[in-house]
Structure 1
Amino acid sequence: MSEYAIVAPEDFDQSAFRLIGKDWMLVTAKNSEGKINTMTASWGGFGVMWGKDVALSVIRPQRYTKEFIDNSDTFSLSFYDEAFKKDLTYLGSVSGRTEDKISKTRLTPTDANGIPYFEEAKIVLMCKKLFCQPMDPEGFIGDAKALDAQWYADKDYHTLYVAEIEQILVKQD
């Protein structure tokens, strides 16, 4: 297993814009039978809410991973070097409902304190759910109402998850 350093959220100096929006991330959770599922995501954020360091993640209702997130108190957000972009692309295009998609990648499942992630991750955020709510199309304001038509033609609105970042693991070189 790779060596990771635990980094306090206030000392975490990586750009959420790059990590999430450009590099992408995996959202991974375990169900009550111990099975894990993961999905690639490129939307979300980090911040402070309710006096806690949090990660924001959004998942559409048809995603199989949503079932895992909804039935677990915890999940991980993990980030990878460019060398794993093909694996992340695959994990974002195939459903774990129809195949064991993880086995078709170069990623090795592991966990910390029962929260699943992959050994190849360069950064892992261990998250505990605090809040979830389906996004409401009535919430779009002014010109942003056009986002509804642009991103939600099928009216499959994301569920927003706010999760406390319990631990950040950063792979040591």
Structure 2
Amino acid sequence: MEFTTDIFSQFDKKWALLTAGDKDKFNTMTISWGGLGTLWGKPVATTYVRTSRYTHEFMDNNEYFTISFYPEDYKGTLGVLGSKSGRDIDKMHSSGLTAKEVSGSMTFEEAEVTLVCRKLFCQRFDTKNMNPDIAKQFYEGDAEHDMYIGEVVDIIR
């Protein structure tokens, strides 16, 4: 497996879709926080999901998830998928993306690259352990994030 990228802009500038579930029931959301690296001798991807997000349920209840990256043309679509909840509307039907089953999870045909991840770890951010400025800026009056670390088991191009 090989994935060459500008690691510091991949999530922040390009954004991505985090998807969990199976062909019968899945949800996706736009993410701009994440990381790639090595942990426990494995290639890993790390992502963060607020406990209030619908996708959080899917992350907790499934062993696999995907992180997929898209061409710039899809920035508008990713913006909508990040601002609407799958609890309220059928995001997939209105997104125009084509769902595709992959190795225990879901992604989309339009993705440039999809990282298929097997969940290894989940832990809630504790604001008591954060820099107070960060805690105030990102969590005052808002739900916490859970951090998910997944082993990258496949890269689909």
TM-score, length-normalised on structure 2? 0.96
Q: Is 1:63 aligned to residue 53 of structure 2? A: yes
Q: Match of 1:166?
A: 153
Query: What 5-or-longer segments of structure 1 have no aligned partner?
Result: 1-7
Q: How big is each residue's C-alpha offset from its partner over 1:98-136, in whole Å with a ceiling of 9 and x where there is no partner?
A: 110111112100011232000000000000000001001
Offset of 1:153 from its aligned partner? 1.1
Amino acid at match of 2:41: G
Q: Match of 2:7?
A: 16
How do 1:87-106 and structure 2 match up within 5 A?
87-106=77-96
The more displaced of 121-130 and 12-21 is 12-21
For the pair shown, the structure with the greater C-alpha radius of gyration is: 1
Looking at structure 2, the residues matched to 81 and 54 of structure 1 have their Cα atoms a distance apart, in angstroms, of: 23
| Conservation of the 8 A alpha-carbon contact between 2:98 and 2:109 | yes
Q: Is 1:84 aligned to residue 71 of structure 2? A: no
Q: Residues 146 and 162 of structure 1: is their aligned pair in 2 closer, same or farther, counting only changes over 3 Å? A: same
How do 1:1-173 and structure 2 match up within 5 A?
8=1, 11-30=2-21, 34-140=24-130, 144-170=131-157
Offset of 1:15 from its aligned partner? 1.8
Looking at structure 2, the residues matched to 137 and 153 of structure 1 have their Cα atoms a distance apart, in angstroms, of: 10
Q: How big is each residue's C-alpha offset from its partner over 1:67-107, in whole Å with a ceiling of 9 and x where there is no partner?
A: 01110000000000011111100000000001101111121
Amino acid at match of 1:137: T
Amino acid at match of 1:22: K
Looking at structure 2, the residues matched to 25 and 154 of structure 1 have their Cα atoms a distance apart, in angstroms, of: 26
Amino acid at match of 1:145: P
Looking at structure 1, the residues matched to 103 and 16 of structure 2 have their Cα atoms a distance apart, in angstroms, of: 20
SS of the residue corresponding to residue 22 of structure 1 reads coil
Query: What 5-or-longer segments of structure 2 have no aligned partner?
Result: none
Looking at structure 2, the residues matched to 70 and 51 of structure 1 have their Cα atoms a distance apart, in angstroms, of: 23
- Amino-acid identity (%): 42
Looking at structure 2, the residues matched to 34 and 154 of structure 1 have their Cα atoms a distance apart, in angstroms, of: 34
TM-score, length-normalised on structure 1? 0.87
